Copies of this chain bind each other. A is one copy, B any other.
C-alpha cells in the first residue's frame, strides 16, 4: 500500500468515491462477482476472486457502509452522551458501556457535550447518526422529544422528575444515611457540603445529605464549587478555611470535588481524617490512589452500563416499550470506607 491510488482529479483529490462498479469494470466482471470476492462468499472461482481482489486493491476500493447498511440491516450504533471525558467519572462509565455494547454487537459513538452550547441541536444531530441514545442528556422533556423523537433513549441519573423515557435511576439515600450515621457516631457535628449548584439551588445530592443529617439533629452547610474540577473543589474548601469557618467533615457532590477537598486540607495542614473527614460520591478508582484514600459512596458502573445497554437494546428491538416503568432500573450506591472518613 503505497500512496493513495484512488481515481484522482486535477488537484490530486479523489474525483469521486471508488465504487463497486469501478472494480467490476477493472476486473472485467459483474458487480455481483465483486461482492462475492470481497465478502469471501462461495460460488466464485479462486482465479476470478484473486483477479477481483487485485483490482480492488489497485483502486483502493472499500465498500460503502451506507450502501451496505441499506441492504443488510444488522448494523447498530449507540450514541453515548457524556459531559466531559476529562472528568474520570465518564471514562469509567464509557468503558463499561462500550464493553457491554460490544458484547451485543453495537458500536458506540461518543458525544462529549463539554463544548456544546446548543444541547438540543447537538443531540438532534447525534440522533441522525445513531440508532439509540444513552447517557446524560440534560434536556427538558419537551426539548428531548423534539430532538430525539422516534429514537430509543435511556437517561442515566436523570434527576428527581419522573423520567419520560428509559432511565437508570440512582438510589443514594441508603448509602448516604449510612455515611451520615458513621460520621455522627464519631462526633461530627459541623459538616459542610461542597456542591454543584443548579441555578443557585443545592443539588438533589445535597438535599439527601441534609435530610439524613437532620435525622441526627445536625445541620449541613452547603457551598457551591465553581465548576466540576479538582481545582474548583479545592478552591471551595480554601474559601471555607479563609472564612475562618470551622468544620469537621466535608461531603462532596462527587469524588472529583472530594479530591479537591483533600488537596485543600493538605495545603492547610489539616489532618484527614483526624481533624476533617472527607466523603466523596461516585466511587472512582482514582480515589484509591490518593493520600489518604478516599471514602466514597460508590456506584457499580458496570451495573449501570449493563442496565443502560440492556434497556436501550431491548427498546430498539421492540422487546421493551419506549417509556414507562418497564424501562426504569434502579442502582444503589454503596458506602466504601477507606481512609478519609
Contact = CB atoms under 8 A, between A and B. Distances in A.
Interface of A: 1-4, 6, 8, 11-14, 17, 56-57, 60-70, 73, 75, 77, 84-86, 88, 90-92, 94-95, 98-99, 102, 107-110, 112, 114-115, 127-130, 145, 149-151, 164-165, 230, 259, 263, 266, 285-286, 288-291, 315, 317-319, 321-324
Given A8-B318, A67-B70, A108-B110, 16 more contacts: A2-B323, A3-B322, A12-B318, A56-B150, A60-B149, A62-B149, A62-B150, A66-B66, A66-B67, A85-B91, A86-B92, A88-B286, A95-B112, A109-B110, A259-B289, A290-B290
A63 B109 contact: no
B263 A289 contact: yes
A117 to B, nearest CB: 13
A128 B63 contact: yes
14 contacts: A1-B164, A2-B323, A3-B324, A4-B318, A12-B318, A12-B319, A17-B73, A64-B70, A77-B109, A86-B91, A91-B91, A99-B112, A107-B129, A230-B288
Count of identical protomers in the assembly: 2
Contacts of A57: 149-150
Contacts of A149: 1, 57, 60, 62
Given A91-B91, A150-B60, A98 B86 contact: no
A92 B6 CA distance: 34
B98 A110 contact: yes
A7 to B, nearest CB: 10
